Amino acid sequence: MTADMDARTRRVYLVLLLAPLFLLAFLYLYPLSRVLWLSVTVPTPGFGNFERLFTSSGIQNVIWTTLRICVFTTALALLIGYAVAYAALHLRGWRGELLLFFVLLSFWLSVLIRAFAWLTLLQSRGLINTWLMNVGIIDAPLTLIRNEFGVVLGMVHYMIPYAALPLYANMKGIDTRLVPAARGLGASPVQAFLKVYLPMSLPGLISAGILTFIFSLGFYVTPALLGGGKTIMISEYIAVQINETLNWGLGSMLATSLLLAIFALLAVLSFFVDLRKVFGVK
Amino acid sequence: MDLAPSKPFRITVFGAWLAILFLTLPFAVVFPVSLTPQRYLSLPDGELSLRHYQTLLQDPSWILSIRDSLIVATGSTLVAIVLGTMTALACWRISSRASELVRMAMLAPMIVPSIVHALGFYQIWAQLGLLDTYLGLILAHAMKGTPYVVISVSAALANVDLRLEQAARNLGATALQALWKVIIPAAKPGMAAGSVFAFALSWDELVVTLFLSSRGVYTLPRKIWDGIQDNINPAIAAVASLMIVLTVIAMVVRILLARRQARLAAVPTEP
């Protein structure tokens, strides 16, 4: 609806549009492009850094670890998030609201505090090991952190609200009258769910899944603390390249690859849903 | 609905409550640990002590890091509100393909992993002399917070009729007056919601902070991070307990306000 605007109004709104864009370009896109630039110019111009994706087994290890952890995290967060969203929506009265309250609470709580809480519980002299040894179930402490188990646990804990909240929003739009209709036609509760409800919630499930996976890929704090330097995901690996070995070529190449992977996933996502809807601007 | 009493549904509900236990129990454990009389992480054994809360009050480094976090979070929230609201207003009014593209570009910091833009900020901030300064951290956090303001202001404006602006103009307002007196008031709830997001994001931000600051600006997440790495002690549990309590209070206040508003307006709102 630009036709009905006079020149003055147009000018006002163009300034409103272009001023933030200019700042974003200078303070965000320019720094970002610098990372991309470094990946093909440091230490020597060319794609030498990217070749290491195919030749270095250390890097491939980190990538596989990252992918494995993200797949487990996404699958578990979706499963649990789906159950929570479903229950929150279909429970009558205060129970559903209470469920949602706890999900939102968890959503707002700090990522560092989560990791700290898990460390308190899972360390070798943490509460769980101390308790198990006092009761006499185990003699030596279990290794619950500094491995993939600890990282996945912490990440699932973080990602459940990120899966549950979009799923909840999506399920709200589903016409639930179809389920009793299926039941009336003789379907068992499980059949009605699998054949009617689940297919209708599939677009929401796919977009929540891809978003959860994208967020998981870039995780830094949780894997760094619960992986304890043993289980290393790509973000922490990049940080080590920059902070400890000052290897900007390798670090920026991995950052660029991570970014490209995420944009590729978003492109896939855009086949299933309108991206503007996913990010809440439509 | 005859879906409710079925056995699979009851199992799902049971699973959902188990999930809630999983989500909340780790946080609940932090409280007793913060009251331990010991110097190491442990559950209090009979005796309770407030010594770790005392540490927070007496050790100036905790107070200073809270101050730094407040400065950075407030500054970056203000910048994010201005940038985000401008973008959302312009996209709402102009509504063309080009403005859609601008809006998607403004959302980029939400999608790009922190480590990736942390490297970029580090490079450019080093050139500009912004490393380890309040301004440097405020600008970087503001970039991360702006998308959330764009989203919530866009949501608030989604139901505002474009003709409202026209009506104001026909009644003699200039374009700026219409913007200031008619449209921005309509955007205010979105600005408020977006600022909560931007503030919380900056308050909790660690990855970019780790790259951009060292000792000059030392935020609370940075202090907690260093505490966990070097010497994990119950003072962190005390800080964590306070932050959890503040979050719960903020949420309850928000819900009560929403209820009151809903009662006043007599239209249902989201829980």
Alpha-carbon distance A282 to nearest alpha carbon in chain B (angstroms): 8
B3, pLDDT greater than 50: no
Each residue of B167-219: pLDDT tens digit? 998 898 888 898 999 999 999 999 999 999 999 999 999 999 999 998 899 99
Q: Is A89 on the interface with B (CB under 8 A)?
A: no
Q: Which domain holds residue B191?
A: 59-220
**Residue whose structure tokens are 């111009």:** A45
Q: Is B251 on the interface with A (CB under 8 A)?
A: yes
| Amino acid (1-letter code) at residue A72 | F
Each residue of B79-100: pLDDT tens digit? 999 999 999 999 998 888 888 8
Q: How far apart are CA A129 and CA B9, in angstroms?
A: 35
Q: Burial letters for A261-281: b for 16+ Cβ neighbours within 10 Å, e otherwise?
A: bbeebbeebeebeebeebbbb
Q: Output the pTM of the full model.
A: 0.92
CB contact under 8 A, B13 and A119: no
Chain B contacts in chain A segment 168-197 (CB below 8 A): 176, 179-180, 183, 189-190, 192-193
Across the interface, of B87, B108, B114, the residue whose CB is closest to A218 is B114
Are the C-beta atoms of residues B106 and A22 closer than 8 Å to each other? no
Q: How far apart are CA B227 and CA B235, in angstroms?
A: 9
CB contact under 8 A, A115 and B26: no
Q: Is A246 on the interface with B (CB under 8 A)?
A: no
Q: Is A87 on the interface with B (CB under 8 A)?
A: yes
HEC string of A23-85 equals HHHHHHHHHHHHHHHHHHHCCCCCCHHHHHHHHCHHHHHHHHHHHHHHHHHHHHHHHHHHHHH
**B11 within some domain:** no
**B27 within some domain:** no
CB contact under 8 A, A103 and B176: no
Q: Burial letters for A22-37: b for 16+ Cβ neighbours within 10 Å, e otherwise?
A: ebbeebbbebbebbbe
Are the C-beta atoms of residues A53 and A250 closer than 8 Å to each other? no
The CA distances from residue A40 to A47, A149, A245, in Å, are: 6, 36, 18
Closest CA to A237 of A222, A224, A256, A249: A224
Tokens of residue A31, six digits: 């720094």
Quote ipTM for the complex.
Answer: 0.92
Mean pLDDT is lowest, of A37-41, A45-49, B17-21, B252-256, for: B252-256
Tally of CB atoms within 10 A around B40: 11
**B233 within some domain:** no
Contact residues for B203 (Cβ-Cβ < 8 A; gap 6+): A110, B69, B73, B220, B221
Let me know if A44 is exposed, middle or buried by CB neighbors in 10 A (0-12, 13-18, 19+): exposed
CB contact under 8 A, A80 and B42: no
Across the interface, of A38, A87, A112, the residue whose CB is closest to B13 is A87
pLDDT at B5: 59
Can you give the CATH number for the domain in which B105 is found? 1.10.3720.10
Across the interface, of B8, B114, B255, the residue whose CB is closest to A193 is B8
| B266: confidence class by pLDDT, cuts 50, 70, 90 | low
**B259 within some domain:** no
Alpha-carbon distance B120 to nearest alpha carbon in chain A (angstroms): 4
pLDDT at B1: 45
H/E stretch holding B133 reads none
Q: How far apart are CA A205 and CA A183, in angstroms?
A: 23
Range B15-32 average pLDDT: 94
Are the C-beta atoms of residues A231 and A148 closer than 8 Å to each other? yes
Are the C-beta atoms of residues A74 and A212 closer than 8 Å to each other? yes
Would you write out chain A's pLDDT as a tens digit for each of its 282 residues?
A: 444 677 888 888 899 999 999 999 999 999 999 999 999 998 899 999 999 999 999 999 999 999 999 999 999 999 999 999 999 999 988 999 999 999 999 999 999 999 999 999 998 888 899 899 999 899 999 999 999 999 999 999 999 999 999 999 999 988 888 888 888 898 888 888 898 899 999 989 998 999 999 999 999 999 999 998 899 999 999 999 999 999 999 999 999 999 999 999 999 888 888 887 777 666
pLDDT at B269: 46
**B72 within some domain:** yes
Q: How far apart are CA B89 and CA B94, in angstroms?
A: 9
HEC string of A198-257 equals HHHHHHHHHHHHHHHHHHHHCCCHHHHHHHCCCCCCHHHHHHHHHHCCCCHHHHHHHHHH
Q: How far apart are CA B40 and CA B30, in angstroms?
A: 13
Each residue of B125-175: pLDDT tens digit? 999 999 999 999 999 999 999 999 999 999 999 888 888 888 998 898 888
SS3 content of chain A, % helix, strand, coil (to 5): 80, 0, 20
Q: How far apart are CA A226 and CA A212, in angstroms?
A: 19
CA quadruple B42, B46, B47, B53: dihedral, nearest 10? 40
- DSSP annotation of B233: -
| Amino acid (1-letter code) at residue B186 | A
pLDDT at A229: 87
- DSSP annotation of B129: T
CB contact under 8 A, A2 and B237: no
**What is the distance of C-alpha A256 from the center of its chain?**
18
**A108 interaction partners in chain B (CB closer than 8 Å):** 200, 247, 250-251
Tokens of residue A39, six digits: 């990946």
Across the interface, of A16, A160, A235, the residue whose CB is closest to B115 is A235
pLDDT at A282: 64
| B35: confidence class by pLDDT, cuts 50, 70, 90 | very high
pLDDT at A7: 83
3-state secondary structure of B44: coil
Contact residues for B229 (Cβ-Cβ < 8 A; gap 6+): none
Q: Is B31 on the interface with A (CB under 8 A)?
A: no
**B236 within some domain:** no
**B154 within some domain:** yes
**Residue whose structure tokens are 């909340």:** B24
B271, pLDDT greater than 60: no
Tally: H helices and E strands in chain B: 13, 0
Alpha-carbon distance B13 to nearest alpha carbon in chain A (angstroms): 5
Domains defined for chain A, CATH in brackets: 41-278 (1.10.3720.10)
Q: Is A265 on the interface with B (CB under 8 A)?
A: no
**B200 interaction partners in chain A (CB closer than 8 Å):** 108
Q: How far apart are CA A148 and CA B181, in angstroms?
A: 55
Let me know if A84 is exposed, middle or buried by CB neighbors in 10 A (0-12, 13-18, 19+): buried
Q: Is B262 on the interface with A (CB under 8 A)?
A: no
**B164 within some domain:** yes
CB contact under 8 A, A21 and B102: yes
Contact residues for A149 (Cβ-Cβ < 8 A; gap 6+): none
Tokens of residue A4, six digits: 């009905």
Q: Is B225 on the interface with A (CB under 8 A)?
A: yes
Number of domains in chain B: 1
**A259 interaction partners in chain B (CB closer than 8 Å):** 112-113, 116
Let me know if A200 is exposed, middle or buried by CB neighbors in 10 A (0-12, 13-18, 19+): middle
Across the interface, of A80, A111, A126, the residue whose CB is closest to B19 is A80
pLDDT at B77: 98
